[in-house]
Chains A and B, each alone.
Chain A
Amino acid sequence: MKPPSSTSLASPSKPAGGTKAKRRDISVRFCGIAGDGVVTCGRILAGACASLGLDLMVNDIFSAEIRGKGKSTTTVRFSSRIVHSMGDGVEVLVGLAGKESIEEIKDVRPGGCVIYGSSIPGDLPEDDSLAAHVPPNIHGFGVPLRKLANQATGSNQGKNIVAMGALCYLYSLPQEAFIEQLRKNFGRKSSRALEVNIKAFTLGFEYCKEHYPLSFELEVLDTLEPRPLYTGNDALAHGALDWGLKFFAGYPITPATKIMEICAKELPKNGGWTIQVEDEIAAISNVMGAFFAGKRAMTSTAGPGLSLMSEMIGLAVMAEIPAVIVDVQRGGPATGMPTKVEQGDLNIALYGGAGDCPRVVMAPSTVRECYTGIQLALDLAEKYQTPVIFLSDLFLGQRMVTTSIPKRVERDRCTRKKPFPGELGTYERFKITEDGVSPLLIPGEEGGFYTITGLEHTPSGNPNFESNVHSMMTEKRYRKMKAMCVDLPPADVLGDKDALIGIVTWGSTLGSVVEGMELAREQGVKSKVLKSIMINPQHEDSFREFFASSARIIVPEVNYEGQYAALLKSRYGIQPVEMHISAVDPVSPAKIANRIIEVQDELTH
Chain B
Amino acid sequence: MRYVIVGTGAAGATAARTIKRMDRDGEVVIIGDERFFPYNRYLLTEFLSGAVSAAELFHTSEEFFEAMDIRLRKGQAVERVYPNDKTIRFAHNEVMSYDRLLIATGRSPSLGPVLRPYAKLIQRYYTFEDILLIQKRLPEVREVIVSGRGLSALDLIQGMYRVGKKITYITRGQAIDVSTVESHLMGDLDSALAEREINFVHDDRIVAIECVDNRYLVKTFQGKELWGDLVFAWDNYTPNVGCLRNTGIEVKTGILVDLRMRSSAPEVYAAGDCVEIYHPTLKNYWINFGWPNAVEQGRIAGKNMAGDNEEYQIHETTLFNILGKPLEARWWD
Instruction: Tell me how far the C-beta of B67 lies from the nearest C-beta in chain A, rounded to whole angstroms.
Output: 13
Q: Interface stretch among A134-142, A329-337, A519-527?
A: A134-142
Complex partner residue of A129 from B37, B39, B77, B94, CB under 8 angstroms: B94
Residues of A close to B95: CB separation below 8 A: 123-126
| Per-residue interface assignment for chain B, residues 20 to 50, with 1 indicating a CB less than 8 Å from any chain A CB and 0 otherwise | 0000000000000001110100000000000
Q: Interface stretch among A12-20, A152-160, A480-488?
A: A12-20
**Contacting pair A142 B76 (CB below 8 A):** yes
A178 at the B interface (CB under 8 A): no
Residue of A nearest to B70 (CB): A136
A121 at the B interface (CB under 8 A): yes
**Contacting pair B132 A140 (CB below 8 A):** no
Q: Interface stretch among A82-90, A112-120, A507-515?
A: A112-120
User: How many chain-B residues does the 8 Å CB contact rule pick out?
Assistant: 29
Which residues of chain A in 90-148 are interfacial with respect to chain B, using CB atoms and an 8 Å cutoff?
110, 116-126, 129, 131-132, 134, 136-137, 139-142
A214 at the B interface (CB under 8 A): yes
**Contacting pair B93 A121 (CB below 8 A):** yes
Chain B interface, DSSP helix/strand/loop, else mixed: mixed
Q: A16-B132, A214-B132 are known contacts. Are A134 and B93 too (CB-CB below 8 A)?
A: no
What size tier do the contact residues of chain A reach?
Answer: 20 to 34
Residue of B nearest to A142 (CB): B92
Q: A19-B132, A136-B62, A213-B129 are known contacts. Are A129 and B75 too (CB-CB below 8 A)?
A: no
> Complex: how many Å from CA A117 to CA B91?
11
> Complex: how many Å from CA A13 to CA B92?
25
**Contacting pair B37 A126 (CB below 8 A):** no
B128 at the A interface (CB under 8 A): yes
Residues of B close to A15: CB separation below 8 A: 36-37, 39, 54, 57-58, 61
Q: A15-B61, A17-B35, A17-B36 are known contacts. Are A140 and B75 too (CB-CB below 8 A)?
A: yes
Residue of B nearest to A143 (CB): B92
Interface centre among A118, A120, A134, A136 (most CB of B within 10 A): A136
Instruction: Tell me how far the C-beta of B137 lies from the nearest C-beta in chain A, rounded to whole angstroms.
Output: 11
Chain A interface, DSSP helix/strand/loop, else mixed: loop
> Complex: how many Å from CA A302 to CA B227?
69
> Complex: how many Å from CA A16 to CA B48?
13
Which residues of chain B in 68-94 are interfacial with respect to chain A, using CB atoms and an 8 Å cutoff?
72-77, 89-94
Q: A121-B93, A131-B92 are known contacts. Are A214 and B133 too (CB-CB below 8 A)?
A: yes
B320 at the A interface (CB under 8 A): no
Residue of B nearest to A125 (CB): B95
Residues of B close to A118: CB separation below 8 A: 91-93
> Complex: how many Å from CA A120 to CA B75?
17
> Complex: how many Å from CA A213 to CA B54?
20
**Contacting pair A140 B96 (CB below 8 A):** no
Residues of B close to A110: CB separation below 8 A: 62
Chain A: residues with CB nearer than 8 A to chain B? 13-17, 19, 110, 116-126, 129, 131-132, 134, 136-137, 139-142, 212-214
Additional 19 contacts, C-beta under 8 A, given A16-B36, A126-B96, A213-B133: A14-B54, A17-B35, A117-B92, A118-B92, A120-B92, A120-B93, A122-B93, A123-B89, A126-B95, A131-B90, A132-B96, A134-B75, A136-B72, A141-B35, A142-B75, A142-B77, A142-B91, A212-B35, A213-B129
